[in-house]
Amino acid sequence: MRIFPSQLSKIEQIALLGEIETALTSAPLFVPRMPRTGKPFSVRMSNFGPLGWVCDKQHGYRYQSEHPETNAPWPPMPSMLTTLWYELTGYHAPPQACLINYYAAGAKMGMHQDRDEDDLQAPVLSISLGDRARFRLGGTTRGGKTSSFEISSGDVLILEKQTRLAFHGIDKVYANSSQLMNTSAAFPNGGRLNLTLRRVTKPA
């Protein structure tokens, strides 16, 4: 795993927040639900790119080209995200999906693997915006030893090679630890945004 503290400047964070706000006007945040049980996630989601990650009780985890509620295509991937992907990952093919996770007060993400992609050799790039969070990283099997550390607005994290299939999650979000989103009309109560870029299909 590689982490790039403060990779995005304050100006870049504000610009990316603006891209997200614009995207949510056509692809609003939705509440995913667990397979089988239908239990709602505590985070709300949307996506950039030709493919978007979704989950529901009937069909489980998957990628699809349209929003699950509006049935409209996902908004295009901002160029600044594609540029960041190439600069930091060195991977030869572009990302196809950027999952937008919004953590309001009390939201968290349980330990999980990113393994719904056909191309598991491609890295996963994660960008944090807004409130600080405690990130937990484990091994490639559930229930093993884990370590945790804090990530802040503007930090970028990459899971690759041995950590590509590592279990990971967000234990806690520290409310009001960042002022980035306080003036945002889309997020009047602040919170945390996480953008996860993934390559889904194997490149030719």
pLDDT of residue 164: 95
- Return all residues near 191 (Cβ < 8 A) that are at least 6 apart: 102, 103, 104, 105, 107, 130, 131, 173, 175, 181
Residue 68 gets which letter from DSSP? T
pLDDT of residue 148: 96
pLDDT of residue 204: 85
pLDDT of residue 133: 97
pLDDT of residue 94: 97
Evaluate if pTM is beyond 0.85.
Answer: yes
Q: Are 191 and 130 in contact (CB under 8 A)?
A: yes
pLDDT of residue 143: 85
pLDDT of residue 44: 97
Closest to 128 (Cα-Cα) out of 77, 186, 61, 173: 173
pLDDT of residue 36: 87
Spans of the chain below 50 pLDDT? none
pLDDT of residue 2: 96
pLDDT of residue 115: 92
Q: Which two tokens stand for residue 152?
A: 């802040």
pLDDT of residue 69: 97
Domains in the chain with CATH codes: 2-198 (2.60.120.590)
